[in-house]
Amino acid sequence: MDLHFDWAYAFGLFANGQIWDAAVTTLWLATLSWMIAGVLGLGLALLKRSGLAPARRAAGAYVWLFRGLPLLLLVIFVYNAVPPALPVTREFLSNPFNAGLVALVLSESAYMAEVFRAGLTAVSPEQRDAGRALGFGSVPLHRYVIVPQAFRIAIPGLGNEYVSNLKNTSLVSVISLVELTLTGQRIYSGNFLILETLSVIGIVYLAMVTLFTGVQHVLERRLDVRRERERRPAPGGEVPPQPAVPAQTTTPRERTPTRAGRPMSAPVVLEARDLRKALGGREVLAGVDLEIRRGDVCVIIGPSGSGKSTLLRCLNRLLIADQGTILLDDQPFGYRPSGSAIRPEPERHLAERRRRVGMVFQRFELFPHYTALENVVLAPRHFGLVPRAGAREYGLALLRRVGLEQHADKYPHQLSGGQQQRVAIARTLAVEPEVILLDEPTSALDPELVNEVLSVIASLADEGMTMVIVSHEMDFARLVADRVVFMDAGRIIEDGAPDQIFSAPAHQRTQRFLAAIGQG
C-alpha cells in the first residue's frame, strides 16, 4: 500500500482562516462553559456538604442525573427537545453555540462538583475549627479558609476537566456548530485529503491543550506558597532569630498577692454546669462543673483520655455537649431559652459570641495560604475591629508582642513549631477575647522549642489574661496557675491552688498520678 502525505497541503492549512475561526469558536465554547460549570460545580459541592438534608439530596440528584446522561444525547435534547417544550427558550437555544453551551455546562458542572467536593473534603476539620474559633460563621469560614485551600487542592482535577471539556466540544458539531472538528470534516469532504486535514486539526487541538497546560502550571506555581517563597527569598537575606519575649519573662516569676487572691473576688466569666459528652459510645465528660473567674489562670492536668481537650472544645462550643449548660458572662452560651426549654443556638448566631472565647490548638492550625501577618489580621479586619489602613500595624504590634515581628511576611511552613504556636497565640489575641483556651500548646513541639511558647503564655498571665490551659508541663503549671484542676475519667477529681495540688493533694487518684510522672 502506497501511503502518500501531502506536506505542502498540510502546511498550507495553517494559513486557512476557516480553521482558525473554528479554533476560536472551540476555545471560547470550552472556556466559557468550563468557567460557568466551575461556579455551578462549586455551589453544588457546597450544597452536598450542607447541613440541610434537602439541599444535599437536590445537589446529589443533579450530579447523579447529569453524570449519567451521555453528552451527545444531552446536546441533541437541549437543541431539539427543549425549545418546543419551553417556547420561551426557542430564540436562545436555536443558536447551536448557545445550545452547546447549556449542554456542556449541565454535564461538566456535575463532574466539577465532585472535583470540588474532593478538595473541600481534603481540608482538615482542624482548619475548620480554627476558623470557627475566630468567630467565623459559615460564609466567611468558607470564603477565607476552606474554599481557598480546596481550590488549590482541586487545580489538577479542574485542569483535567478543562481538557476533557475542550475535546467534548467536538460533539456539538452534531447540531451544526461550526467548531474545529466539523470544519475539518467539511474541508476534507471536498478534497479527500483526510489524513493531512485531520493531522492539522489534531495539532491545533494539541496547541490549545498545551496553551492551557502552561496557564495551569503558572497558576499552580503562583498559588504554591512553598515553591514561590523558596524561589524568592526575602530581601536582605535570612532574618536572625529573635527571642520569644523579653528576657525577664523567661525566668521564674513570683506569684504576687494580687494574682493569688484574685480568683475568689473576681466575677465569673465562663462557667460549665454538669457537662456530659459521649464520643464513640464512651462517656468522655461525666458531669463536669467548672467556674473560670476574670483574670484567672486555670491549668487542667490529668492522664491522656481523661476528657481535658474535650472539655475545652465544649467550653467554646466547637463540640456540643450532650447535657449541661455553659454560661458566658452569666448568659447562656450556645443556648437560647424557648419557653420552659433550652434549645441550641443556631451556628450563625453563635459564631460572633464564640470569638469572645479564643482557642489555641495543639498543632497550631495556622492557615497555610496566609502569611503570619495575614493570619493575625484576617479576623479583626473581617469583624471591623481594625480599619484596613491600620491592619498591618495592628498585626505587627501583636507579632511584636510575641517576638515575631520580623517574621511577619513568612508563611507557616517557613516557621518553626514554636514560632507557629506564637503566631497562633497572636492570632487569638487579635480578636480581643475575654478568655483564651489553650489545648496542650506545647505537646507538638520539640523540647528546645517549648520554653519560647511557655514564656509568651507566662507574660499573658502576668498581664492578667483569663486563660484555661490543658498542659502536661507541671513545672509551668506551678509557675503560672492560680488554680490547678486534676481530671480523670471525665470528672474533675481535685481543684485547688498549685501549692496544695502539687505538695499536698487530697485525693488518692491525684497522688498516684503525680507520683507516676515524678511530681509526687
Q: Does residue 25 surpass a pLDDT of 90?
A: yes
Provide mean pLDDT across the span 36-53: 94
Q: Does residue 210 surpass a pLDDT of 70?
A: yes
Q: How confident is the model at residue 5 (pLDDT cuts 50, 70, 90)?
A: confident
336 compared with 322, residue with greater pLDDT: 322
pLDDT given at position 339: 60
pLDDT given at position 48: 94
Strand partners, 487: 492
120, 146 Cβ separation under 8 angstroms: yes
Distance CA 229, CA 362 (A): 26
Query: What's the mean pLDDT when you consider all of the chain?
Result: 87
pLDDT given at position 255: 44
Q: Which of 128, 49, 129 is nearest to 314 (CA)?
A: 129
Provide the residue ranges of all domains of the chain, joining segments of one domain with +.
Answer: 7-224, 268-356+433-518
pLDDT given at position 312: 93
**Which residues, 6 or more positions from 439, have their beta carbon under 8 angstroms from its beta carbon?**
308, 309, 312, 313, 359, 360, 361, 362, 470
Q: Does residue 340 surpass a pLDDT of 60?
A: no
Q: How confident is the model at residue 336 (pLDDT cuts 50, 70, 90)?
A: confident
Q: Does residue 247 surpass a pLDDT of 70?
A: no
Residue 512, number of CB atoms within 10 A of its CB:
13
Flag the least confident range among 136-145, 184-193, 255-264, 429-438: 255-264
CA atoms in the 13 A half-sphere facing the CB of 383 = 22
Class of domain 7-224: mainly alpha
Class of domain 268-356+433-518: alpha beta
Span 101-135, pLDDT tens digits: 999 999 999 999 999 999 999 999 999 999 999 99
Provide mean pLDDT across the span 325-331: 89
Strand partners, 483: 298
Angle between helices 17-48 and 180-191 (to 10 degrees): 150
Provide mean pLDDT across the span 32-55: 94
Provide mean pLDDT across the span 378-405: 92
262 compared with 231, residue with greater pLDDT: 262
pLDDT given at position 393: 94
Flag the least confident range among 12-21, 34-43, 388-397, 510-519: 510-519
Give one DSSP letter per residue of 404-471, joined into a string.
Answer: -GGGTT--GGGS-HHHHHHHHHHHHHHT--SEEEEESTTTTS-HHHHHHHHHHHHHHHHTT-EEEEE-
pLDDT given at position 32: 97
Q: Give the pTM.
A: 0.84
Q: Does residue 257 surpass a pLDDT of 80?
A: no
Residue 227, number of CB atoms within 10 A of its CB:
12
pLDDT given at position 152: 93
Task: State phi, psi for 86 to the nearest 5 degrees.
Answer: -125, 85
For the sheet containing 466-470, what is the strand order? 357-360, 435-439, 466-470, 297-301, 483-488, 491-496
Distance CA 41, CA 29 (A): 17
Q: How confident is the model at residue 231 (pLDDT cuts 50, 70, 90)?
A: very low
Same fold, 7-224 and 268-356+433-518: no
Look up residue 142 and give its three cell numbers: 468558607
Burial of residue 421 (CB within 10 Å: 0-12, 13-18, 19+) is buried
Provide mean pLDDT across the span 427-437: 93
In 330-428, DSSP assigns E strands to 331-332, 335-338, 341-344, 357-360
Q: Does residue 13 surpass a pLDDT of 80?
A: yes
Q: Does residue 468 surpass a pLDDT of 90?
A: yes
Span 136-184, pLDDT tens digits: 998 999 999 999 999 999 999 999 999 999 999 999 999 999 999 999 9
Strand partners, 469: 299, 438
Q: Does residue 233 surpass a pLDDT of 50?
A: no
What b-and-e string marks burial along 424-450, b requiring 16 or more CB atoms within 10 Å of the CB?
A: bbbbbbbbebbbbbbbbbbeebeeebb
Q: How confident is the model at residue 241 (pLDDT cuts 50, 70, 90)?
A: very low
Rg (CA), the chain: 31
The share of the chain scoring above pLDDT 70, in percent, equals 91
Q: How confident is the model at residue 331 (pLDDT cuts 50, 70, 90)?
A: confident
Give one DSSP letter per residue of 162-212, joined into a string.
Answer: HHHHHHHGGGGGGGT---HHHHHHHHHHHH--HHHHHHHHHHHHHHHHHHH
pLDDT given at position 478: 87
